Amino acid sequence: MSIENIPDDTLFNWLQTSPRLLNSLNLRSSSITANNIIQQIRREIPHINGTTLNQQFHDLQDSVDVEFSRRSVYSRNILVQLQRSVRRSLSTNLREAQITFQTNARLDRWEQRRRAYRIIDKFRNTILRGYQDEEDKLIGISYAYLSLTNGIYRFCLQDCYAWERLGRGESVDPNALVHFEVHEIYNYYKDNGLPMFYFHGWDTTIRNAVGHTNLNYDEATQKMTFVNEPRETDKKKVSEYEFVEIVENYEKILEIYQLVLIMNQVLSVSSGCVEFLRRYP
């Protein structure tokens, strides 16, 4: 259903998801600002002050920038990269962006990923808080990493890739986009000389080794050895990781998921503001 056909009450309920989600991701000031936007619209119907609402939305963008960037240098880097491509897309390629992202199928896939994330996050928390044995912890976080990279990471990278292409004035086929693999997106960024921040937590050796249960724990060093052994023997790769190192990779990939989720919420608030201003100028 197009946003133009959503009744006011349903649209308000849809918008209310944003402050709740921002708060759950510890962007508390941003959550308050998003809620203020919603409350302003409620108060001012049937005549909404567009100037004030626009300022509130800019405050939301600024708040997200500050709160997300505060997490780490890595967080700042991926935020700047995604913001740049999104803003260029919306200013120069808006129609293509709407065709790419505003589909029921994409919303359904986001809901699937949210459910998947809740399960993976519970598993991760159980590992971090409940496992005492170092080998158990390494095995657990390795499988959590595999689950994250196989689904959520790939899906979020598809969004980042689509925004990047749109921002560069290129077209995106929404039907083909859902089949893109991480290595294809990686090659696009590498071949075009783009920043590679999105891939800092991605290690195919861990992913493939865990997928084929080709990993061995060394009790003396408390490290896990991961062996990626494809059919071409000359492409065999071996990596060693401590628990904290895999957690670091996991957190970087999780950060991309959260960033894409946050960006979608900011865009949802923007769409809602535009629609309510259209109805109640």
If one counts every other C-beta atom within 10 angstroms of the C-beta of residue 214, the result is: 15
pLDDT at 1 over 60: no
Residue positions counted in the chain: 281
Burial of 230 (0-12, 13-18, 19+ CB in 10 A): exposed
Task: Return d(Cα 9, Cα 11) in angstroms, integer.
Answer: 5
Contact predicate 159/186, CB 8 Å: no
Task: Return d(Cα 263, Cα 79) in angstroms, integer.
Answer: 9
What tens digit of pLDDT does each residue of 230-267 get? 766 667 889 999 999 999 999 999 999 999 999 989 99
CA distances to 16, 39, 136 from 117, rounded to whole Å, are 21, 30, 21
pLDDT of residue 263: 93
Of residues 17, 183, 184, the one with CA closest to residue 114 = 17
Q: Is residue 226 helix, strand or coil?
A: strand
Beta bridge partners of 223: 218
Contact predicate 202/157, CB 8 Å: no
Task: Return d(Cα 97, Cα 169) in angstroms, integer.
Answer: 10
More reliable by pLDDT, 161 or 115:
161
What tens digit of pLDDT does each residue of 123-161 get? 777 877 877 888 988 998 999 899 888 888 999 999 999
Of residues 179, 256, 3, the one with CA closest to residue 107 = 3
If one counts every other C-beta atom within 10 angstroms of the C-beta of residue 208, the result is: 17
Q: What is the average pLDDT across 94-117?
A: 72
Show Cβ contacts of residue 205 under 8 Å, excluding neighbours closer than 6 positions: 226, 227, 228, 237, 238, 239
pLDDT at 5 over 60: yes
pLDDT at 221 over 90: yes
Of residues 281, 277, 263, the one with CA closest to residue 37 = 277
Q: What angle do CA 74, 190, 76 make, to 5 degrees?
A: 15
pTM for the predicted model, two decimal places:
0.89
